Amino acid sequence: MSVIARASLVEYFKDQLEGALAQQRVPVHADTAHYVVQLLADTMRHDRHGRAAALLDPRPLALRLAAAMDDRCPAPGQALRDVADAALLLGGYFSSAASSARSVPATYYHRVGGFAYGALGQESQALAPIFKDLAARFAQYADALGEVGQRAEMQSPAGLVRALESWQRSGSRVTERLLVERGVVLARGRSVRLQ
Domain ranges within the chain, ordered by starting residue: 6-148, 154-195
Q: Structure pTM?
A: 0.82
The answer to whether residues 93 and 145 touch, using CB atoms and an 8 Å cutoff, is: yes
Collapsing DSSP to helix, strand or coil, 194 comes out as strand
Q: What is the pLDDT of residues 163-184, one digit of tens each?
A: 788 788 777 788 888 888 888 8
Pairing type for strands 193-194 and 184-185 reads antiparallel
What's the burial of 8, exposed, middle or buried (CB within 10 Å: 0-12/13-18/19+)? exposed
Q: What is the pLDDT of residues 33-77, one digit of tens each?
A: 999 999 998 888 776 666 777 788 889 999 999 999 999 999 999
- In this model, does residue 157 exceed pLDDT 80? yes
Of 133, 178, 167, 116, residue with least CA distance to 26: 133
Q: What is the pLDDT of residues 66-80, one digit of tens each?
A: 999 999 999 999 999
